[in-house]
Amino acid sequence: MKKITIAIDGFSSTGKSTLAKQLAKHLGYVFVDTGAMYRAVTLYAIQNNYINLEYFDTESLKADLTKIKLEFQFNPELGFAEMYLNNKNVEKEIRTIEVSNFVSKVAEISQVRAKLVEQQKEMGKNKAIVMDGRDIGTVVFPDAELKIFMTASAQTRAQRRFDEMVSKGESISFEEVLKNVQERDYIDTHREDSPLVMAHNAIEIDNSNITREEQFQIVLDLVNNI
Residues at the interface with ligand DC (CB under 6 A): 12, 34-35, 38-39, 103-104, 107, 133-135, 184, 188
Task: Report d(CA 172, CA 162) in Å as an integer.
Answer: 8
142/217 with CB nearer ligand DC: 142
Nearer to ligand DC, 28 or 46 (CB): 46
Minimum distance between the CB of residue 44 and ligand DC, rounded to whole angstroms? 14
User: What distances in angstroms separate CA 151 from CA 68, 69, 154, 156, 200, one per listed residue?
Assistant: 32, 31, 9, 10, 15
By beta-carbon proximity to ligand DC, the closer residue of 27 and 94 is 94
The nearest distance, CB 17 to ligand DC, in angstroms, is 7
Please state the closest distance from residue 125 (CB atom) to ligand DC, in A.
Answer: 17
Q: Give the shortest CB-41-to-ligand DC separation in angstroms.
A: 9
The answer to whether the CB of 97 falls within 8 A of the CB of 165 is yes
| Beta-carbon count within 10 A of 24 CB | 22
By C-beta, is 42 or 221 nearer to ligand DC?
Answer: 42
Please answer whether residues 29 and 145 qualify as being in contact, where contact means their C-beta atoms are separated by less than 8 angstroms. no
Give the Cα separation of 21 and 23 in Å (integer): 5
| 3-state DSSP of 173-185 | CHHHHHHHHHHHH
